[in-house]
Amino acid sequence: MLKTAKQLLENISGLKTNMYNGDFLLTWDKTDDEIKATMYIAKILQELHKNNISTRVFDLGLAISNFRDNSTRTRFSFASAANLLGLEVQDLDEQKSQIAHGETVRETANMISFLSEVIGIRDDMYLGAGHTYQVEVAEAVEEGFREGVLAQRPSVINLQCDIDHPTQTMADLCHLDTYFGGIDNLKGKKIAMTWAYSPSYGKPLSVPQGIIGLMSRMGMNISLAMPEGYDLIPDTIDVAKNNSSKSGGSFEIVNSMEEAFKDADIVYPKSWAPFEVMKTRTELLRNQDSAGLKDLEQQCLANNAKLKNWECDEKKMSLTKDGKALYMHCLPADITGVSCKEGEVTKDVFEKYRIETYKEAGYKPFVIAAMMLLTRFPNTHEVLEMVARTANPRARHQ
Amino acid sequence: MLKTAKQLLENISGLKTNMYNGDFLLTWDKTDDEIKATMYIAKILQELHKNNISTRVFDLGLAISNFRDNSTRTRFSFASAANLLGLEVQDLDEQKSQIAHGETVRETANMISFLSEVIGIRDDMYLGAGHTYQVEVAEAVEEGFREGVLAQRPSVINLQCDIDHPTQTMADLCHLDTYFGGIDNLKGKKIAMTWAYSPSYGKPLSVPQGIIGLMSRMGMNISLAMPEGYDLIPDTIDVAKNNSSKSGGSFEIVNSMEEAFKDADIVYPKSWAPFEVMKTRTELLRNQDSAGLKDLEQQCLANNAKLKNWECDEKKMSLTKDGKALYMHCLPADITGVSCKEGEVTKDVFEKYRIETYKEAGYKPFVIAAMMLLTRFPNTHEVLEMVARTANPRARHQ
Amino acid sequence: MLKTAKQLLENISGLKTNMYNGDFLLTWDKTDDEIKATMYIAKILQELHKNNISTRVFDLGLAISNFRDNSTRTRFSFASAANLLGLEVQDLDEQKSQIAHGETVRETANMISFLSEVIGIRDDMYLGAGHTYQVEVAEAVEEGFREGVLAQRPSVINLQCDIDHPTQTMADLCHLDTYFGGIDNLKGKKIAMTWAYSPSYGKPLSVPQGIIGLMSRMGMNISLAMPEGYDLIPDTIDVAKNNSSKSGGSFEIVNSMEEAFKDADIVYPKSWAPFEVMKTRTELLRNQDSAGLKDLEQQCLANNAKLKNWECDEKKMSLTKDGKALYMHCLPADITGVSCKEGEVTKDVFEKYRIETYKEAGYKPFVIAAMMLLTRFPNTHEVLEMVARTANPRARHQ
Residues C74 and C177 in one domain: no
Give helix C166-179 / helix C206-215 axis angle, nearest 10°. Answer: 50
CA gap A362, C48 in Å, rounded: 37
- d(CA C23, CA C374) in angstroms, rounded, equals 9
Backbone angles phi, psi at A89, to 5 degrees: -85, 135
Q: Are A354 and A158 in contact (CB under 8 A)?
A: no
Contacts of residue A171, defined as CB under 8 A and 6 or more positions apart, other chains included, come to A42, A360, A361, A362, A363, A364, A367
In whole angstroms, give the CA distance from residue B23 to residue B390.
29
Average pLDDT, chain A: 94
Residues A231 and A151 in one domain: no
Q: Do A83 and C61 touch (CB under 8 A)?
A: yes
Residue C254 parent element (H or E): strand C250-254
Q: Which amino acid is at A370?
A: A
In this complex, which of B79, B84, B355 lies closest to A90 when CB atoms are compared?
Answer: B79
What SS3 state is found at C395?
strand
Asked if residue C314 and residue C188 are part of one domain, the reply reads: yes
Residue B301: count of CB within 10 angstroms of its CB? 14
**Is C329 found in the same domain as C252?**
yes
The answer on pLDDT for C101 being more than 60 is: no
The answer for B128, left when phi > 0, alpha when psi is -120 to 50, beta otherwise, is left
Q: Report the percentage of chain A scoring pLDDT > 70.
A: 97
Q: What is the pLDDT of residue B101?
A: 38
HSE of A92, CA atoms in CB hemisphere, 13 A: 27
Looking at the complex, report in whole angstroms how far the Cα of residue A54 sits from the nearest Cα belonging to chain B.
Answer: 13
| Distance (Å, whole) CA A105 – CA B377 | 38
Contact C356/C327 with Cβ under 8 angstroms? yes
**Considering the domain boundaries, does residue A398 fall inside one?**
no
Nearest-Cα distance to chain A for B48, in Å, is 11
CA angle A381, A383, A384 (to 5 degrees): 65
- pLDDT over 90, % of chain A: 88
pLDDT, residue B1, reads 87
Flag whether B256 is in a domain: yes
Distance, CA of B271 to CA of B340 (rounded, Å): 14
| Cβ atoms C212, C222 nearer than 8 A | yes
H or E, element range at B350: helix B347-362
pLDDT score of A102 more than 50? no
Q: Which residues contact B77 (CB under 8 A, 6 or more apart)?
A: A114, B167, B364, B365, B368
pLDDT of the residue at B95: 62
Phi first, then psi, for residue B252 (nearest 5°) are: -135, 155
Q: Is residue C398 assigned to a domain?
A: no
Q: Check residue C201 and give its pLDDT.
A: 83
B133: in domain: yes
Measured in angstroms, the CA of B257 and the nearest CA of chain C are apart by 47
Q: Are residues C251 and C355 in the same domain?
A: yes
Contact A332 C112 (CB under 8 A): no
Check residue C73 and give its pLDDT: 83
A vs B: CB pairs below 8 A: 116
Res A103 pLDDT > 70: no
pTM: 0.96
**What is the pLDDT at residue A99?**
45
Contact check, Cβ <8 Å, C393/B59: yes
In angstroms, the separation between the Cα of residue C309 and the nearest Cα of chain B is: 21
**Strand A266-269 to strand A190-194: parallel, antiparallel, or no bridges (unpaired)?**
parallel
CA angle A40, A43, A44 (to 5 degrees): 90
Residue A354 CB coordination number (10 Å): 23
If you average pLDDT over residues A68-90, what whole number do you get?
A: 93
**Rounded CA separation B33/B25 (Å):** 16
Residue of B nearest to C332 (CA): B103
Closest residue of B to A390, CA-based? B398
Instruction: Answer yes or no: do C146 and C17 share one domain.
Output: yes
CB contact under 8 A, C72 and B110: no
Q: Are residues B238 and B248 in the same domain?
A: yes
B120 and B208: one domain?
A: no
Query: Residue C97: its pLDDT value, please?
Result: 46
Query: Measured between alpha carbons, how far is B200 from A41 in angstroms, rounded to an integer?
Result: 50
What subunits make at least 3 CB pairs under 8 angstroms with A?
B, C
Q: Which residues of chain B have pLDDT under 70?
A: 95-103, 398
Q: Do B358 and A62 touch (CB under 8 A)?
A: no
Å between A334 CA and nearest CA of chain C: 8
**C362/B114 CB distance under 8 A:** yes
B385: closest chain C residue by CA = C398
Domain that holds residue C339: 168-361
Average pLDDT over residues A12-26: 96
* End-to-end Cα separation, chain C, in angstroms: 19
Query: Cα separations (Å) of C10 from A102, C37, C157, C381?
Result: 62, 11, 26, 9
| CB of A260 closer than 8 Å to CB of A225 | yes
Interface test with chain B among C48, C159, C174, C396, by most B beta carbons within 10 Å = C396
Rounded Cα distance between B237 and B250, Å, is 12
DSSP β-bridge partners for residue A168: none
d(CA C314, CA C352): 10
Instruction: Clarify whether residues B212 and B109 are in a common domain.
Output: no
pLDDT of B103 = 52
Q: Tell which residue, A175, A173, A211, has the closest CA to residue A193.
A: A211
ipTM: 0.95
Contact assignment for B107 to C338 by CB distance below 8 Å: no
State residue A100's pLDDT score: 39
Do residues B74 and B141 both lie within one domain?
Answer: yes
The secondary element (H helix, E strand) that includes residue B134 is helix B130-146
Question: Which residues from chain C sit within 8 angstroms of residue A72, using beta carbons?
Answer: 92, 96-99, 103, 108, 111-112
Q: Let me know if residue B395 belongs to a domain.
A: no
The verdict on residue B282 lying in a domain is yes
> Measuring CA to CA, which residue among B84, B71, B83, B169 is closest to residue B121?
B71
Contact C398 B377 (CB under 8 A): no
Task: Tell me the H-state helices in chain A.
Answer: 3-13, 32-50, 73-85, 105-111, 130-146, 166-179, 206-215, 234-247, 257-261, 275-286, 290-305, 314-317, 347-362, 364-376, 380-390
CA distance C209 to C234: 10
Residue A73: pLDDT band (50, 70, 90) is: confident
E-only strand ranges, B115-265: 116-123, 155-161, 190-194, 221-225, 250-254
Contact B59 C394 (CB under 8 A): yes
Distance CA C298, CA C289 (A): 14
Q: pLDDT over 90 for what percent of chain C? A: 88
> What is the count of structural domains for chain C?
2
Asked if the peptide bond before residue C199 counts as cis, ω within 30 degrees of 0, the response is no
d(C-alpha B5, C-alpha B50), whole Å: 11
Instruction: Report chain C residues touching chain B, CB-CB < 8 A.
Output: 46, 49-50, 54-56, 67, 70-73, 75-77, 79-80, 83-84, 86, 88-89, 200, 331-332, 334, 338-340, 355, 358-359, 361-362, 364-365, 392-398
- Span C228-273, pLDDT tens digits: 999 999 999 999 999 999 999 999 999 999 999 999 999 999 999 9
pLDDT in tens, C42-86: 999 999 999 999 999 999 999 999 998 878 789 999 999 999 999
**Is residue B386 a part of any domain in this protein?**
yes
User: A14-43: string of b/e by CB count within 10 Å (b at 16+)?
Assistant: ebebebebbbbbbbbebeeebbbbbbbbbb
Residue type, B95: Q
- Nearest residue in C to B114, CA atom: C362
Q: How far apart are CA A311 and CA A307, in angstroms?
A: 9
Phi (first) and psi of residue C20, to 5 degrees: -60, 130
Q: How far is CA B194 from CA A37, A216, B183, B198, C194, in A?
A: 55, 61, 21, 13, 63
**Is residue C154 within 8 Å of residue C118, measured between CB atoms?**
yes
Q: Which residues of C touch B56 (CB under 8 A)?
A: 396
DSSP string, C3-61: HHHHHHHHHHHT-----TT--B--GGGS-HHHHHHHHHHHHHHHHHHHTTB----BSS-
Interchain contact, A72 vs C108, CB within 8 Å = yes
Residue C110 lies in a domain: yes
Residue A93's pLDDT is 81
**Three state DSSP letters for C142-157:** HHHHHCCCCCCCCEEE
Do residues B180 and B188 lie in contact, with contact meaning Cβ atoms separated by under 8 Å?
Answer: no
Query: Do C377 and C383 touch, CB atoms closer than 8 A?
Result: yes
C100 and C155 part of one domain: yes
| Whether residue C242 sits in one domain with residue C268 | yes
Helix (H) or strand (E) holding A224: strand A221-225
CA distance, residue B123 to nearest chain A CA (Å): 14
- pLDDT higher than 80, residue C100: no
DSSP B96: T
Distance CA(A247)–CA(A230), nearest Å, equals 27
Q: State the Cα–Cα distance between residues B20 and C385, nearest whole angstrom.
A: 32
Rounded to whole angstroms, how far apart are CA atoms A90 and A103?
19
CATH code of C25's domain = 3.40.50.1370
